[in-house]
Amino acid sequence: MFRLPKSALALAIALFACAAVGASNSQDYQIGTAATAAEIAGWDIDIRADGKGLPVGSGNAINGEESYEIFCASCHGVFGEGEGRWPVLAGGEGTLADDRPVKTVGSYWPYASTLFDYIRRAMPFTAPMSLDDQQVYDITAYVLYLNDLIEEDFELSQDNLAQIEMPNQDGFFVDNRPDVSNPRCMADCADPASLMIQSSLSGITPIGHFVEGADAPASSHSGQHDLEASKEAERKAAITGEQLVSSVAQKNAVMSAEAIAGEATYKVACGVCHDSGLAGAPKLADTDAWLTRLQQGKEILTIHALEGYAGAKGYMPAKGGRADLSDEAVTNAVLFMVESQQ
């Protein structure tokens, strides 16, 4: 089970108490506004173990195979075997007691309904919450089928999803132990000044704890990531003796104004994949890979970025999964990536 930190729990209790007082007191403190039904519905998306909260709909593994191959296979493998170090989804039966258990949907996951919940909230990794309910039902059915929990033509729906018994359901229990004092261990700590980060995912990998004076982890504030990465580069140079060169000066010398403007969009919508190679994306620093793609022409690359692209090695969401971006901003981001290869 997940638990709130004590400070967060205290805050939640205080807010609840204030709300209760406010409900019984007609006095208006002129603070905030009442949540609308639409706003509440936007937050009320969780699905319980008993299936409450599931949207109306259905799907099956036959239809789910295509969606899975487009949105999931580049990380999780065509048959759920996992690519690289990304999670394995199928298999692992009878391994939980081993020294190296294989935790998959079939071997470990407790409730089928919460599998739907997780896929809808967090997948695909590059564009969470971009799948519609039909796609989520189909993909959920396909993952359950990969684990031999349903037949290929079984029609999964809001009426039967919670009734599917997962093999490890009894392996979970309610943790009703009280909170206890658990002071942090501060012995034998590494010196942060001697640590060097080899790679990180912009906006995803928290690196704030490596940088003196960082006010937040990178996963919370994408702008903080740039500051921390810059400081880390300076620290690495101090350790290795490397010479730092101003990247801004280099870019201004070879890039168009549109490409320079596109760097900000690249960082918020494109870099998570193209900095790391996630989901088969060509790394920005992989010039050979980009030369092959540039043969298609900038126009085709721009269309792929605007409308999305499902290739043999992975899936790229339209506009990097950011519907709030304008066509101009995305086009400039493509120019930034293209001109970075010059």
pLDDT at residue number 319: 74
φ/ψ of 58, rounded to 5, equals: -160, 165
Structural contact between residues 143 and 86, judged by C-beta atoms closer than 8 angstroms: no
Structural contact between residues 262 and 332, judged by C-beta atoms closer than 8 angstroms: yes
Long-range interactions of 35-41: CB distance < 8 A, separation 24+: none
Q: What is the DSSP letter of 34?
A: P
**CATH 1.10.760.10: which residues of the chain?**
58-171, 255-339
| pTM assigned to the model | 0.60
Structural contact between residues 265 and 332, judged by C-beta atoms closer than 8 angstroms: yes
pLDDT at residue number 271: 80
pLDDT at residue number 174: 83
pLDDT at residue number 340: 79
Residue 115 CB neighbour total at 10 angstroms: 22
Instruction: For the domain made up of 255-339, give the CATH fold.
Output: Cytochrome Bc1 Complex; Chain D, domain 2 (1.10.760)
pLDDT at residue number 56: 94
H helix intervals, 51-190:
61-71, 73-76, 112-122, 133-146
Sequence-distant (6+) residues with CB within 8 A of 164 are 112, 144, 149, 150
Name residue 49's amino acid: A
State the CATH architecture for 58-171: Orthogonal Bundle (1.10)
For the chain, 342 residues long, the average pLDDT of each consecutive 10-residue run is 46 52 60 88 87 94 93 89 87 90 93 94 87 95 96 95 94 84 74 65 49 40 55 69 56 74 82 75 76 76 80 72 80 84 70
100 vs 141: CA distance, rounded Å: 27
Structural contact between residues 260 and 336, judged by C-beta atoms closer than 8 angstroms: yes
